[in-house]
Structure 1
Amino acid sequence: MTQEPAPQTPAQPSAAALQDHLVVTHHTLTVGGAELRYTATAGTLVLREERHKDGVWEGDKPKATVFVVAYSKDGADPGRRPVTFAFNGGPGSSSVWLHLGALGPKRVLMDELGHPTPPPYRLIDNAHTLLDVTDLVFIDPVSTGYSRAAPGEKPADFHAFNEDIASVGDVIRLYTSRYGRWSSPKFLIGESYGTTRAAGLAGYLQERHGMYLSGLMLVSSVLDFQTLLFEAGNDLPYSLFLPAYTATAWYHSRLPEALQRRPLREVLREVEAFALGEYALALLQGANLEAERRAEVARTLARYTGLSEAYVERCDLRLEIGRFTKELLRDAGRTVGRLDSRFTGFDRDAAGERPLYDPSYATIQGPYTATLNDYVRRELGFASDLPYEILTNLYETWSYKAFENRFVSVSDTLRKAMSINPHLKVHVASGVFDLATPYFATAYTLSHLGLAPELRGNLSTSTYEAGHMMYVHEASLAKLKGELGRFILTSQAT
C-alpha cells in the first residue's frame, strides 16, 4: 500500500471557510485468485445550500460536511464501470456495518458463526468484497460517522424522512458529477432503515436529478412500517413475525421433537401457511373468535413458537417481539437477540417482561467500532478529533411528518420508480433469524407492491440462515456476495 498524505486532523473552520477534506490512498487485494488494485478516497464533502435570492442563484453557503469512503478499481473505465452507493439505517447509523462487514475490501475478523474474537479486534482482507464487480461509495448521513451539520445549521433539520433523502441524494449527485459517473451503471444498497432510504432515493433521484438507477439492493428490508409496528389495533405484525419466531425456536431446540427433526425450510413453509391462513383469520375475528377455535389456535402457536399454551393465552394470541425474546429461554436464564436471534444474553434476572439489551448488537458493537476508528487513520490516512458516531439514537426523535396519521411506507414510491424506469431491478436479501425486519414481513410487502405483471420479474430475493446482519455469518457472507455480484452483472444494460 502507498499512502498520500499522512494522517491529519483538519482544523475546525468557520462555515464560510469549510472545504472538502479528502485523502487518497492506493491498495491491492486478492479476490478470486486475482490481484485487484484500487484507490480509496476518504474524507468529508461539503454540501452547499441551493438558494435563489432576487432571481440570482447562490450555491456557496455550506449546510453540512458528509463523510464518505469511496473505492474505485484502478484502470477501469469510469463510464462503463458500475458504481454502488451504500448506507445503513437506524435512523442514526453510520455505514460501518456494510462497509466493514459485507462489501468493502476489509472486514472485521469474526468466527464462522459471527462471534467476535477477544479484544483488541482486527480487520482482514475481505475475499467476498463486491469491489471486483463494482466501485463502492459508503455514505454516512448527517450526524452519523464524521458527518455533521455546518456551523450555524440545525442538525435536527437533517433528521427527518424527506430531508435525509434529499441530503443523501445530493451527496450521490455531487459524487456522480465530480467523478464522471453519470454514464456508469448506478446501484444503491441499503440495510434496514437504509432500505427505506434507498426506495425513497430511487424516486428522489429520478424526479429531482433525472438520475435513473440500474438496481437497488435491499438488505434486511423495511418498506412498510405497518408490517413491523406492534400497535394496538394493528394485528399484521403478529402473523408476519411468526415464522421468524419458529426459526428461532428451531435454532435453540425448543420446538416439539416432530418439528425439531425436520429441515428448517420445510417447517417454515408450514408455519407461513398457518400465519396467513388460520392464524390471520383468528386475529381478525378478535373477541368474536369461538372458544374452541381459540384454544386450537393457542395450541398451534405454542407448538410453532416453543412457548407454553398458558403464556400464549395470557398474551391474547399476540406475541410481541420483546415478550418472545425474553420468554423463549426464560427457564435457562437467557434471552435471544433481536437483530440475530441465534445469539443469547443474560439479564439481571429472569422475571422481567423484556430483555435489558440486545445480545446480537452487543456482539458486534465493540469490534466494528474499534476497527473502523483504527482503519480510517492507519490505512486510509484520514483523522478527526470528532467521535465517529457508529449508531446514535436518532430513531427516537426522527421526524416522519410526511406520514402524519398513517404508517410510514415507501412501497408505492418503489412501485412508481420501477414503473417509470422499467429497467430498474431490485434484489432483497433477508435472514431467517432476523427479528428486527423479519423475512416474512418483507415477503408480504413485496407481494403487495402493486407492480404491473410484466415488472414483477424485476424483483429477486435471497434468504440466509443468519440474522439482520447476515454477513457476520461467514457462509451467508459468501452466499450474499454471490447473489449481489450476479445481480449487478445481470442488471447492467448490454
Structure 2
Amino acid sequence: MKEEYVSALWEGNKLADDRKRSIAEILEMLTGISSASFYQRNLRMNQVDFCTLLLEESDRSLSVYDSRITAIGPYIGDLNDGTMFNLSGQLKTCANDYIKREIGYETNLPYKSGNAEVYLNRNWESGKVEPEMPDSLDLGFPDASDALSHALTRAPYLRVFVAGGSLILSAPLNRLPIALIISRSRILFVPTSFTESTRAAI
C-alpha cells in the first residue's frame, strides 16, 4: 500500500479518478476516516484535519504531542491540545528544575515552551535549498546543524538528547534519522513517546 499511495501522490492531478477513489477507500479502512474526506483532500490529510476527523463522531480530537491524549471538539492547535492544555505547566516546571538543579546552570531566564515571540521571529526556512524548478513550492525547513556542529566541536563533553516516537504526530519517529547527520557517539537517541521522553530526560 505504501508504494501505491506514494505513487498516487506523485501523480497529483494526473491521477485517474477511479484509482483516487480506490486509494481513498483503502485509507478509510486503515484509519476509520471517511474515504470522502481523503478524496476531497486529494488523498493528502494534514495534521489538523487528521487530529479532528479521526475522533469526529465522539466530538473529540487527538493531541499532536501524544496521540493517547484527547480533547473535546475539533483540533485548533495548542489552545485545545490535550497534552499542552493539561501538562504544559508541569513540563515547564520540571524542565526549569532540571536545568537549575540537575545540570547546575544558573540563570534568571525561565524555560518557555511554545514561546510565541521566539516562534514568530525564528527563521523556519533556514534550511531552504534552491528549488530545481522556478515555480516549485519549497517552504524549506529550520536548520540548526551548523550551530550544533560548532557547539559540539567547541565542547567535546556536550551531548545531544533526541526523542521521538510513534505517538507524536508533530515529530514522527521516521523523520528523526534525517536530522541526525552528526556523530552518533555524541547523540542519545530515545525512540519513545512524548510523555515517556520527557520523563526520561528529567
Structures share fold, TM-score greater than 0.5: yes
Q: Structure 1 residues 461, 374: CA separation in 2 closer, same or farther (over 3 Å shift)? A: closer
CA distance in 1, matches of 2:49, 2:23: 19
Q: Which of 358, 376, 388 is equivalent to 2:110?
A: 388
Contact 1:323-1:354 within 8 A present in 2 as well:
no
CA distance in 1, matches of 2:100, 2:144: 39
Matched residue SS, 2:7: helix
Q: Which amino acid aligns with 2:71?
A: G
Q: How does 1:222-301 map to 2 (within 5 A)?
A: 274-275=1-2, 277-301=3-27
Q: Which residue of 1 aligns with 2:121?
A: 397
Matched residue SS, 1:313: helix
Contact 1:431-1:470 within 8 A present in 2 as well:
no
- Alignment of 1:431 with 2:153, yes or no, is no
Q: Which amino acid aligns with 2:172?
A: P
CA distance in 1, matches of 2:95, 2:161: 28
Per-residue deviation, residues 4-53 of structure 1 (Å, max 9, x unmatched): xxxxxxxxxxxxxxxxxxxxxxxxxxxxxxxxxxxxxxxxxxxxxxxxxx
Q: Which residue of 2 aligns with 1:358?
A: 81
CA distance in 1, matches of 2:101, 2:184: 46
Normalised by the length of structure 1, the TM-score is 0.30
Matched residue SS, 1:295: helix
Aligned residues with identical type, % of pairs: 22
Q: Structure 1 residues 378, 316: CA separation in 2 closer, same or farther (over 3 Å shift)? A: closer
Contact 1:282-1:289 within 8 A present in 2 as well:
yes
Q: Which amino acid aligns with 2:10?
A: L
Matched residue SS, 1:310: helix
Gaps of 5+ in 2: 131-137, 154-158
Per-residue deviation, residues 312-371 of structure 1 (Å, max 9, x unmatched): 112221100011111111111111101111111123xx5xx7455211112222223456
Q: Structure 1 residues 306, 372: CA separation in 2 closer, same or farther (over 3 Å shift)? A: same
Q: 1:374, CA displacement in angstroms?
A: 8.0
Alignment length (residue pairs): 182
Q: Which amino acid aligns with 2:170?
A: A
Q: Structure 1 residues 364, 331: CA separation in 2 closer, same or farther (over 3 Å shift)? A: same
Matched residue SS, 1:345: strand
Contact 1:325-1:354 within 8 A present in 2 as well:
no
Q: Which residue of 2 aligns with 1:408?
A: 141
Q: 1:397, CA displacement in angstroms?
A: 2.2
CA distance in 2, matches of 1:314, 1:442: 30
Normalised by the length of structure 2, the TM-score is 0.66
Q: Which of 309, 315, 321 is equivalent to 2:35?
A: 309
Q: Which amino acid aligns with 1:303?
A: M
Q: 1:410, CA displacement in angstroms?
A: 4.2
Contact 1:321-1:435 within 8 A present in 2 as well:
yes
CA distance in 2, matches of 1:409, 1:371: 26
Q: How does 1:170-181 map to 2 (within 5 A)?
A: none
Q: Which amino acid aligns with 2:141?
A: V
Which structure features the higher share of strand residues? 1
CA distance in 1, matches of 2:186, 2:95: 35
Q: Structure 1 residues 378, 458: CA separation in 2 closer, same or farther (over 3 Å shift)? A: closer
Greater relative CO (CA pairs within 8 A, separation 6+): 1
Q: Structure 1 residues 341, 278: CA separation in 2 closer, same or farther (over 3 Å shift)? A: same
Q: How does 1:123-142 map to 2 (within 5 A)?
A: none
Q: 1:429, CA displacement in angstroms?
A: 3.8
Matched residue SS, 2:33: coil
- Alignment of 1:324 with 2:50, yes or no, is yes
Matched residue SS, 1:357: coil
Q: 1:292, CA displacement in angstroms?
A: 2.3
Q: Which of 308, 311, 336 is equivalent to 2:62?
A: 336
